[in-house]
Amino acid sequence: MDRNKKNYLAPLIVFLAVIFGLILGNLLAQRAFFSSSPNIFFGFGNASKVDELLQIINTNYVDTLNLDEMTENVMQDIIAKLDPHSVYIPAEDISLANSELEGSFSGIGVQFNIQNDTVMIISVISGGPSEAAGLMPGDRIVEVNDTTFVGKSINNEKVMKKLRGPEGTKVKLGIKRNQTKEVLYYEITRGKIPVNSVDIAYIVQPSVGFIKVSKFAETTYGEFLNAIAKLKNEGADKFIIDLRGNSGGFMDQSINMINEFLPANRLIVYAQGKAYKRFEAKSDGKGSCTREPLVVLVDEFSASASEIFAGAIQDNDRGTLVGRRTFGKGLVQQQFNLSDGSAVRLTVARYYTPSGRSIQKPYKLGNTEEYEKEFINRLLHEINDSIFHPDSLRYKTVGGRIVYGGGGIMPDVYVPLDTSEFTPYFNNVVNYGYVYQFAFQYSDKNREKLKKIKNWQEMDTYLNSQSLLDQFVKFVSEKGIQANKKEINISKNLLLTQLKGYITRNILGDEGFYPLLYRSDKTVLKALDVINSKQ
């Protein structure tokens, strides 16, 4: 690799590492395998050496110490000696950790972003408390309960703690709105806010339905059935299921989805562990799409329940996988609740695809750093046969095709990561969040005009006439990133696609964002080639 290539890939590595941290954090927060977790009390007891040591220190140490804090540290240290996916969750974080995969949570019903040390409302959830109160996209939250709520100390966690709360409770917000000089005050009663996991379901080409599933939450299967029914009603008789970036969740939701595509009595997945009795899930043949052509999109961020879905479809020769090798997370976590409200999500079993493959990639106990490095190195050096290392194991599908174990699921049709339009300029403006910031400011400034646009095709036509790239280059120049004509020209199409995509999302939501973004997505285009071919 030459020096110039290394230079412009360096920021990308950092960017991907940050994304990986977020994805891994989501993986570590996943819940029980097939059923709700038992409420089991973990106690060390009087005979525990750890408990003994803490008591001796607390009683005899020369200085007064915070025993609760020490206990928390001990808990974290013990779990850190295990596999990369076992995790200890302090009591104050348990509610937020659980809500990620629940069907709803209580709050005010807005999507927000923090820009210039201020909470910006990106969208207002339809039918939610904020819409009823009169909040609007573009509003800035500057006060919460008569207290100023701006500044460098504001972060996503603090905002969620302020805005979320028990259903029926009230929160008073001070809002700064464009075109108004004074602060506007709203008292909002918190209510149930749905957590959707099917981001988009639309006809991507005549007769081809496209469904993107972002996670496997409590309501995913129901959402998925609605999406299938909607698309069939619109003429779909072929389906592309997009699991890229889907880090997993509830396994039963994945199993129910797989069942929609398989004939009767096909093995979907099995799991077993030292104290975990072998469990098998099989199809019942009553699915709604047992004959329709199917393509599943996966990438390096597809993990856990996504890999169960992909592995079952591949091993049963039911569809074609397109994309890149999946993450390789094949461990089952079960939540054990502790007496103080905290919890341990402990790995209790491994799960296997129908052919007997363990999806879990290799790891060393207590070594998460090496585990993370493997992921980044894979992205840097990934090639078509990246999975076929010497210790890979061969397995056979029901139809006799060879598939490979050794970590993750290798797709049938490989689409490499395209970095041809990545430049140092592009990496900088993305890593600093300037693409997103510009898109929000442009949407906010032109909201009244943009609101008149009804679909993404009209939005695309309009934005093509607005010299977006020139405006963006000027915007980031004022932020300190000087224009580089050669690099901007290389990254031009990629920048414009992202700028138009985020502006469209700010106005039309995901219904406009994904179709605009995916019309030039190489993995989606390859999937369309596959599903429309005789294969």
Q: What is the 3-state secondary structure (H, E, C) of 217-263?
A: CCCHHHHHHHHHHHHHHCCCCEEEEECCCCCCECHHHHHHHHHCCCC
pLDDT band of residue 7 (cuts 50, 70, 90) is: very low
pLDDT at 289: 96
Q: State the amino acid at position 245 in one-letter form.
A: G
Query: Residue 23: pLDDT band by 50, 70, 90 thresholds?
Result: very low
- Quick check: 475 and 434 in contact, CB under 8 A? yes
Most confidently modeled range among 74-78, 275-279, 480-484: 480-484
Instruction: State yes or no: pLDDT of 372 exceeds 60.
Output: yes
Confidence (pLDDT) at 268: 97
* pLDDT for residue 24: 40
What's the pLDDT tens digit per position in 289-308? Answer: 999 999 999 998 899 999 99
What per-residue confidence (pLDDT) applies to 83? 84
Chain segment 228-280, per-residue pLDDT in tens:
999 999 999 999 999 999 988 888 999 999 999 999 999 999 999 888 889 99
Contact call for residues 261 and 228 (beta carbons, < 8 A):
no
- Please give the sequence-ordered ranges of beta strands (E in DSSP) within 289-444, or none if there are none: 294-298, 320-323, 331-337, 343-352, 394-396, 402-404, 413-414
Residue-averaged pLDDT of the chain: 84
Listed residue (239, 241, 265) closest to 254, CA to CA: 241
Q: What is the pLDDT of residue 31?
A: 39
Average pLDDT over residues 84-108: 75
* Claim: this prediction has a pTM higher than 0.85: no
Coil, strand, or helix at residue 510? helix
- Whether residue 400 has pLDDT greater than 90: yes
Rounded CA separation 403/387 (Å): 10
Q: What is the pLDDT of residues 422-469, one digit of tens each?
A: 999 999 998 888 998 899 899 989 999 999 999 999 999 999 999 999
Residue 492 has pLDDT above 90, yes or no: yes
- At residue 528 the predicted structure's pLDDT band, cuts being 50, 70 and 90, is very high
φ and ψ of 519, to 5 deg: -65, -20
Residues paired with 190 in a beta bridge = none
Given a cut of 50, whether residue 195 has pLDDT beyond it is: yes
Grade residue 103 by pLDDT with cuts at 50, 70 and 90: low
Q: Is the pLDDT of residue 358 over 60?
A: yes
Please report, to the nearest 10 degrees, the dihedral formed by the alpha carbons of residues 311, 317, 321, 324 taken in order. 50
Q: What b/e readout covers 412-449, taking b as 16+ CB neighbours within 10 angstroms?
A: bebbebeeeebbbbbbbbbeeebbbbbbbbbbbeeeee
Q: Which residue type does 213 have?
A: V
Average pLDDT score over residue span 54-61: 87
The confidence band for 281, taking pLDDT boundaries of 50, 70 and 90, is very high
